[in-house]
Structure 1
Amino acid sequence: MKMLLSLILLLVFFDGFSQERYLEKFSKYKEKTYTYHQLKDEESLKLNFYKPKKAKRKIPLLIYVHGGGFSGGSRNDKKSRDFAEEMVQYGYSVASISYRLTMKGKGFGCATNSSLKIAAFNEVSKDISYAVQYLIAHKNKFKIDIDNIILVGSSAGAEAILNLAYVYDNKILNKNFKFAGIIAMAGAITSIDNITSDNAIPTQLFHGVKDNLVPYYIASHHYCKLASPGYLNLFGSRAIANKLKAINKPYYLYSIKEGSHNWNSKPIYECTKEIIDFLYYDVLKRNNRQIETTF
């Protein structure tokens, strides 16, 4: 009886420990670079994988997609590394990925044809899918809980992950696969029509109300005029939140009242508490909350 009681107490202790690790910052970590997709005529795509050193069981994975207008940025630039190093210390694994910079040398403004912009969204969604496919295939090696894979992106990265989750026709991942959550910082999508009760997932949205590039609500990308080649109507965080609210699905909208597009990466530094809260209560615990905060 005493042995049984001791075993029960030990299991309770470790269960509590495993839960608290996603709320408290304490884990040491290790990092390694992997090639996740070989390209024929281009540089192969790589990811930096961050894992808590003491991970003994499968743990949730954050896939971070950097910004940069689909023409710049890097998987190991300061913002990407700062985010990964912060989150891994809370007990999450993080994969910060490279992707093809299809708009390099072309720009992403009003003179760039809207069809090229849409193609960029889709090409990066494809690359992210290859990364996910690779990580799932090596889930035991990386100790990944494939039921808790969360997409995180800033600016162009946010547009890409929202496109992947809610617009992109995915031919790479298993049709039954579903991401556990999304964290989009200054992102938008080309349509909200495909957000349904079946495919909606917990979505956290950070966005400056006065974003001058990616609309907070509904407007053209870069606020291009209708007659310009780059005119592309987008649905920003406010519109996405409204759709999720209408179909009674979880979302967490963090609006920055005076924020411009400069806020696209500030949540990495300014909103750690909100990100950890969302990941734990809405993604891991499935609390299905609807939260709106204005800063």
Structure 2
Amino acid sequence: MQFRIFGILIALFSSIATMAQTRYIDAVFSKIETKTYTYSDTLQLDVYTSKKDKIDSRPLILLVHGGGFGSGKRDNPLEKKFCTKMAGKGYVVASMSYRLLRKNNGFGCTVPAREKIETFLTATEDILKAADFLVKNAIDLRVDPNTIILAGSSAGAEAVLNTVFMKNQYRFKKLPYGEIGFSGVISFSGAVVDSEYISSETALPSMFFHGKKDKLVPFATAPHHYCDPDKLGYLMLDGPESIVKKLEDLNTSYLLAVDPIGNHDWANLAYGYTDIIAEFIEKTIIKRRMVQTKMEIRRNQ
């Protein structure tokens, strides 16, 4: 299956010749090594780095896999390929495991909303513990502790968006944020509990891939899994369309990539857009330029 991208602004994406000269765009390292660490109890993460990279401090991408908080693995083929390609562009990339509270329990309309919130809270707690481990070992891992980008797919995307944007919500603010700070967030088909909590303190450069026809995680504001109001699992979520309105008000960089006929399969498809992801990070985080862009992504049938 092939894909086409429409509406990319020249201000955001450089020419092919320029991109080839940028260390975060084309693969600059071909030999990537992976090491596994235990960051909390039995929870582990895999760190991808170049064997030949001698720079002492690299931007970190922390990846959270999908699977409805009940399945998925940090080292699935899609995750491994993504991490390897991004490490080849000059990043340190960590792919983490986290507690799968919904394993064998589902995450749909029969699951009480309060249990869904508890699941979000647990995932954020694990993300913070993983980030804390990576920061404490920044010298050995050659990580820049001041440049940490969260990325996630589906459930993982919900987890990373809640982690950065819900920090000041009364339930989330009890979690061990400490001095941990994040520089950006990348969502593959994710949503947040309440975009009203996005403030000048929590807003940061954000990138979203989403299908408008997604029936699990809303593109705008709608119930999680589109549950009816009389269902136990009725929980309103704010998708990327709602989130970027807040980011625009706060004059914060973002890229919203939308497939008008796409569904939740963008939780997987977005892994293939490593060049665009690296370019966004380069422009908005490494060079700290202002970019506010919406574009359409379509597939050829």
Q: TM-score, normalised by structure 2?
A: 0.87
Report 1:1-295 matches (<5 A). 20-27=22-29, 28-38=31-41, 44-56=42-54, 57-167=56-166, 168-169=172-173, 171-175=175-179, 177-269=180-272, 271-295=273-297
**Contact 1:133/1:172, CA 8 A, preserved across alignment:** no
Aligned to 2:12: none
**Contact 2:26/2:275, CA 8 A, preserved across alignment:** no
**1:132 and 1:272 mapped to 2: Cα distance?**
22
Q: Which has the higher contact order (CA 8 A, sep 6+)?
A: 2
How far the C-alpha of 1:121 sits from its partner, in A, is 0.7
- CA deviation vs aligned residue, 1:95-136 (integer Å, no higher than 9, x gap): 000000001111011011111111111101000100001111
- Structure 2 letter corresponding to 1:46: Q
**2:135 and 2:145 mapped to 1: Cα distance?**
7
- Structure 2 letter corresponding to 1:228: K
**2:174 and 2:283 mapped to 1: Cα distance?**
28
**1:249 and 1:21 mapped to 2: Cα distance?**
25
**2:128 and 2:48 mapped to 1: Cα distance?**
19
- CA deviation vs aligned residue, 1:225-254 (integer Å, no higher than 9, x gap): 000000000000110011101221111100
**1:258 and 1:234 mapped to 2: Cα distance?**
20
Tell which structure's C-alpha radius of gyration is larger.
1
- Structure 1 letter corresponding to 2:228: K
How far the C-alpha of 1:224 sits from its partner, in A, is 0.2
How far the C-alpha of 1:55 sits from its partner, in A, is 2.5
**Contact 2:82/2:274, CA 8 A, preserved across alignment:** no
Where does structure 1 differ by over 4 angstroms across 4 or more consecutive aligned residues?
Answer: none
Gap runs ≥5 in structure 2: 1-20, 167-171
**2:158 and 2:50 mapped to 1: Cα distance?**
28
**Contact 2:24/2:279, CA 8 A, preserved across alignment:** no
**2:220 and 2:71 mapped to 1: Cα distance?**
25
What SS does the aligned partner of 2:279 have? Answer: helix
Q: Number of matched residues? A: 271
**1:198 and 1:222 mapped to 2: Cα distance?**
30
**Contact 1:162/1:184, CA 8 A, preserved across alignment:** yes
**2:261 and 2:107 mapped to 1: Cα distance?**
24
How far the C-alpha of 1:54 sits from its partner, in A, is 2.3
How far the C-alpha of 1:36 sits from its partner, in A, is 0.5
**2:200 and 2:86 mapped to 1: Cα distance?**
29
- CA deviation vs aligned residue, 1:237-294 (integer Å, no higher than 9, x gap): 110011101221111100111100111120111x222211111101111102101111
Gap runs ≥5 in structure 1: 1-18, 39-43
Q: TM-score, normalised by structure 1?
A: 0.89
- CA deviation vs aligned residue, 1:115-165 (integer Å, no higher than 9, x gap): 111111110100010000111111110010011110000000000000100
**Contact 2:218/2:224, CA 8 A, preserved across alignment:** yes
**Contact 1:126/1:170, CA 8 A, preserved across alignment:** no
**Contact 2:58/2:91, CA 8 A, preserved across alignment:** yes
- Structure 1 letter corresponding to 2:52: K
**Contact 1:208/1:263, CA 8 A, preserved across alignment:** yes
**Contact 2:192/2:238, CA 8 A, preserved across alignment:** yes
Aligned to 2:18: none
| Aligned-residue identity in percent | 39
**Contact 2:218/2:237, CA 8 A, preserved across alignment:** yes
